[in-house]
Amino acid sequence: MPDLAFYDFTAETNEGGEISFAQYKGKVLLIVNTASKCGFTPQYDGLEALYKKYGPEGLVVGFPCDQFGHQEPGSDEEIEAFCRLNYGVTFPLMAKSDVNGENANIKWNFTKFLIDRKGRVVARFEPVVTPEQLESEIEALL
């Protein structure tokens, strides 16, 4: 069986629908696992700023996750309300999901993956790397 490409994947949205990543072909993406009760939660501001500055060609997609220190305990509806009300988040949020496991490469909330226009992961950033520090990397891909 051949390896799946990024565009072959789908995910559940926080509203219960399904999204195909094929719709993002040709775009630069920043995929981030997020949490509402984490020390890195204020990064939502920077992520939203990137989304507003570079969208629609440079998109941010958030994947809320409760696997790290139980820092995302709410429902999908509560997570969306928190993000929109407290940080003005308008970028797409997926349903709360598991992001780590036996073969995963995510160690904590707000790990970021930069994906180029061909669907390749070109960089992985630790949670301490702020969204503002990613601008030059994103601009290089745009």
Q: What is the C-alpha to C-alpha distance for residues 135 and 59, in angstroms, rounded to an integer?
A: 12
Q: Tell how strand 28-34 and strand 58-64 pair up.
A: parallel
> In the prediction, which pLDDT does 62 show?
92
9 phi and psi, to 5 degrees? -85, 155
Give the C-alpha distances (Å, rounded to integers) separating 124 from 14, 84, 87, 111.
Answer: 24, 26, 24, 7
Selecting among 30, 32, 35, 38, the annotated active-site residue is: 38
Q: Cβ neighbours of residue 33 under 8 Å, at least 6 residues apart?
A: 62, 63, 64, 65, 99, 106, 109, 110, 111
Q: Does 102 have pLDDT greater than 70?
A: no
Q: Does 138 have pLDDT greater than 80?
A: yes
Q: In this predicted model, what pLDDT tens digit does every residue of 26-62 receive, in sequence order?
A: 999 999 999 999 999 999 999 999 999 998 778 889 9
Q: Tell how strand 10-12 and strand 18-20 pair up.
A: antiparallel
Q: Could you confirm whether 65 is annotated as catalytic?
A: no
Confidence band of 122 (pLDDT split at 50, 70, 90): very high
Domains of the chain in start order, with CATH, are 38-124 (3.40.30.10)
